[in-house]
């Protein structure tokens, strides 16, 4: 169980923000728009959407974009992430491997990662469940 839990208000705000971000996604190649919202330690929510590029894989994932927005705003710790996508074959979207590592840079193993689609919330995981035995900032000498 995560040491931090979302209030209903926080969850609703994350969901609305991620869905709005998904509507802004630029996904002409995959036709797979994704939106993400990150709640930082100060209670601010930062949005991101995927931005594809013809020179694959030079695009940007929604989670990476949301983390970048958080850092730009002065945030350094993610408390929760909500990712919205259509999923495929009845599955729920979760962050890709690269984004899981990016989330680890700013989130503890108990970081909440909530999946959703355009209609409903999906499963909730911790970062440790999605990226077990992860390598993070604490592994670097001096941190």
CA 124 vs CA 59, 95, 112: distances in Å = 26, 12, 7
Q: Are 61 and 96 within 8 A, CB to CB?
A: yes
| Residue 118 annotated to the active site | no
In eight-state DSSP terms, residue 87 is -
User: Among the options 52, 58, 63, 118, which is catalytic?
Assistant: 63
> Phi and psi at residue 9, in whole multiples of 5°?
-65, -45
CA distance 112 to 130: 10
Task: Write the DSSP string, 39-84.
Answer: EETTS-EEEEE-B--SSTT--B-HHHHHHHHHHHTT---EEEEEEE
- Angle (CA) 119-21-115 rounded to 5° is 45
Could you list the active site residues? 63
């Amino acid at each position: 169980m995560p040491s931090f839990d979302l209030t209903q208000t926080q969850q609703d705000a994350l969901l609305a923000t991620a869905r709005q971000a998904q509507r802004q996604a630029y996904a002409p190649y995959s036709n797979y728009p994704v939106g993400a919202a990150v709640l930082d330690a100060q209670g601010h929510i930062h949005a991101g959407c995927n931005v594809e590029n013809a020179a694959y894989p030079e695009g940007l994932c929604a989670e990476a974009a949301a983390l970048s927005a958080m850092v730009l705003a002065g945030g350094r710790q993610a408390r929760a992430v909500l990712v919205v996508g259509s999923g495929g074959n009845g599955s729920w979207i979760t962050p890709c491997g690269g984004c899981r590592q990016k989330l680890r840079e700013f989130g503890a193993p108990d970081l909440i990662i909530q999946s959703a689609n355009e209609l409903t919330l999906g499963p909730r995981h911790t970062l440790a469940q999605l990226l077990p035995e992860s390598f993070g900032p604490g592994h670097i000498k001096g941190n």
